[in-house]
Structure 1
């Protein structure tokens, strides 16, 4: 993560081990390009990945989608743009309500980096033949907002503009896979924009950041702002990914390692980072908003946190309330909660388990069982003696004759 200075704080895309470089071919709209994350290179267009990604293998999609697939909910992706030429995104993206804050023109569908296209795919990629990859809310609508280009042109100021645009254009969920460590006061333009979204009942989801390898807690923004659901990254073992930022502001974690998603011009690539954990949660939020249109934004957030798979009774600064469980969030939803509550541990009920009394010697029940065993054994021995004696007497008489 890059520290930011100045009023126009730069926001870093929370993917891989560093902010992505601008794609090659940046001089032409939707030009083919290459970006490198760690040791892995993603060139787009890319080949489709046919198998089902691990993060989807553990989700029973038929059960997840038994009530809704997200139809009617718009998710604003404030990122590097969303390329709608990918077959799985063509019907998902709404360019009419999009915005390009980098070139100050266009509809937000010009993604030269590929980051925003990956984020959008995890949320709402349509099902397609030849691949097991699909978005968690495959009937939701993506509002593309190009606010960053991987060259530090994404600032707190234009992020605030992007958030207000998303709210005013009808987004029910906003995904922000970017962060800065520069502290933001509650009267900053970004904090005010986030508060505007929260007051307008929008669910704001943001990545927690990728500088957590040292395990130290630190706030990142906008994830740490009030009302935002901050998302850390988990791995295949449902444990915190080593890079995922820790902090009391972390609300929940979600898969963020070896994440498959769509890239510009077609196909898929694999990437790592809390950038891709956040849209996983935003997809679940879209499903909840579609199923429960009367639920408030804080109730949607509380449901996601309350149904997460926990390793502790309550909140943890490393994984928040736990690892998101999409199916549980959509099925254990009888009533909304204003906020998550800690588990109570052992709960008394009509079927309470009574502990066995501690005894230093033999219990009455053990004594009964022992006597019963002895009785059966003695009876068996008596029968054996009678049978044996009868046989011996018969043989003796035969020898006398």
Structure 2
């Protein structure tokens, strides 16, 4: 069984503005953030967390947010130095930083590269200005294309995100936009359907009838267009929302989907790692300043979490692994669950064209199964 790896996720919680669709832990501050203080707190929390994980070899590092590209390069450098001070970091591992086109400068990108970042993920979200305004983005298409060009010139690897299933978006318009995006992309795209999340401005506006999103059938058609265009252009889906040329997959995100271990450092970050032979979940305080005070007082900002049962581990493994085109290792599921998959359920789901075997040892969701993944997982986990 291949080791799915050990990742380090660091959450920078600050943004220049809050996007109306976003339910991530992100915060706008109108006064300058004390970056050295936060960098020191990240290092302190890593030290405390490393005492729990024991010695580990890091497979990938991901600086997410929020908007990590609001950090100064020296802040990024201090964070990466802290990772290396607490765990073994081999040369050449994937180090990703999320960036927004509106906060991109060439000198800053070069500074991140010098600090050790070798992959950047850009939050482009749309390739037309009206939709960028609708999505509350601070950049326009020209700025997005400039950021893409800089990223391709400075970093060995680059990805960018687009959101589809936007109001009034036709399959033809999305196919054209996607063709354009693939022309700009190096080897990886993340393509997400617009979802209306509770507690966001979009939720209130949608409830008030201010805009409509595509109905499920229309959204499914847009999803099928996504698969067809990316497959044809050599960036097939390796996960429900992620597309890459073979070998260019996000190594960090594969840790999650292959149910590896990772630590979450920073406000609101989640971790999942093995401690005393059991997988535990850690959840940090979301409010940045409260988290900061907790870390300075006791060495970490963790305020929640649990020890997972074997059954819970197996369910999570299914939920994450069936997102992947490679599917799940059935033997690993059975080792986690302590029982085999129910053969009668597998047979029924195969007959309904919702799952299919991959070789002799793996199982994956079919294109039809992907559209009803939560129900599929619930059915298999019974």
More relative contact order, 1 or 2 (CA 8 Å, 6+ apart) = 1
Same-fold status (TM-score > 0.5): no
- Normalised TM-score (structure 1): 0.32
- Normalised TM-score (structure 2): 0.33
* Structure with more helix by fraction: 2
* Structure with more strand by fraction: 2
